[in-house]
Amino acid sequence: MQSCWFGDISGETCAPFTGDAAAYALRIKESRVGMDNFTPLLWEQAVACGVCRDRAEYLAILQKVCIAGSEQGIRERYASGDVELLQMVRTLDEMDTVTNLLSERVADWYQIRHPSFSRKYRRTPAHVLVRSIAERGRERGGGGALNRVAQEIAGLAEARTALAKEVSARACGVMPNTSELIGGLVAARLLSCAGGLKELSRLPGSTIQVLGARTALFAHIRTHAPAPKHGIIFQHRRVHNAPREVRGKVARVLAAKLAIAARIDYYRGRAEPAFLEDAQATIDRAGTPDAGGDGGGRS
């Protein structure tokens, strides 16, 4: 018996499959055909099976089935938690870029209005100055355009802080093991740089180690500059607080454990206390300057 998307063919008889376009799409998805016994389908078979009257109707039905299958695939893909987390992280990065650019612009604007402030400005971060301008504007009940713009930037900065907290909390749910090792926010940035949890789980530790260091990596390839030892993971305290002589080793060991953690998160979706305890201990040993070896293998 030959099972087709429109029915089951056995010799000269055919039992048509009944259902809507979504049911047909599910049947196609669950079908398994080996190339050793593959037989191309003919629209005449569907006509003989009573599914359609002619070739035009066969193609119309098949088109509806393909569209239904695509819609179902999109719904399943968007139902995974990492898709929304990915958009949240990228929104957070865009908010950082916009806030920084506007803060610098407002600082330059303020300097023009107050030339005597130029020396002090060089020692005052732009976001601190913008917050000060916004607070003075609120105390005065509004103020001019400069104060209003500063208040909008301050409001955007507050929204960014709230989003960062939500990103961290969401990452702990989507990537429990990865988040436990490096924190929710850094884990979310790794996921964003990789393109998703599935993509991150397929990366070796050596690639995870330099994720986010694209500029330095290309500079190394083009100009033979020193190779980067870490990328996004440098934001985690285990790396940036490590003594300089062991920082590269800590980054390597941490990345190797993150590669395993990402695979556990993708395939199991739950925290593994035994793995986390062993990983934390291994990373701690790597951060000891007199520790022997590299504290972990390569992934």
Query: What is the pLDDT at residue 295?
Result: 41
Residue 82 in tokens:
């990492």
| CA 26 from centre of chain | 28
Query: What is the pLDDT at residue 1?
Result: 65
Integer Cα distance of 126 and 287 in angstroms? 35
Instruction: For residue 259, give every residue at least 6 positions away whose Cβ sits within 8 Å of its Cβ, in sequence order, or none.
Output: 203, 204, 205, 208, 299
Integer Cα distance of 5 and 47 in angstroms? 13
Q: Is 0.75 surpassed by the pTM of this model? A: no
pLDDT (tens, 9 = 90+) of the chain, 299 residues, equals: 677 888 887 777 888 888 888 888 888 888 776 666 667 778 888 888 888 889 999 899 989 999 998 988 888 877 777 889 999 999 999 999 999 999 999 988 888 887 777 655 567 788 888 888 888 877 776 568 888 899 999 999 999 999 999 999 999 999 999 999 999 999 999 999 999 999 999 999 989 998 887 777 777 678 777 777 778 888 888 888 888 888 888 999 999 999 999 999 999 999 999 999 999 999 988 877 765 544 443 33
Query: What is the pLDDT at residue 29?
Result: 83
Query: What is the pLDDT at residue 33?
Result: 67
Q: Which residues pair with 16 in a beta bridge?
A: 7
Q: What is the pLDDT of residues 101-153, one digit of tens each?
A: 999 999 888 888 877 776 555 677 888 888 888 888 777 765 688 888 999 99
Query: What is the pLDDT at residue 220?
Result: 67
Query: What is the pLDDT at residue 186?
Result: 93
Mean confidence (pLDDT) of the chain: 85
Q: Counting Cβ atoms within 10 Å, is residue 38 exposed (0-12), middle (13-18) or buried (19+)? A: exposed
Instruction: For residue 125, give every residue at least 6 positions away whose Cβ sits within 8 Å of its Cβ, in sequence order, or none.
Output: none
Query: What is the pLDDT at residue 294?
Result: 45
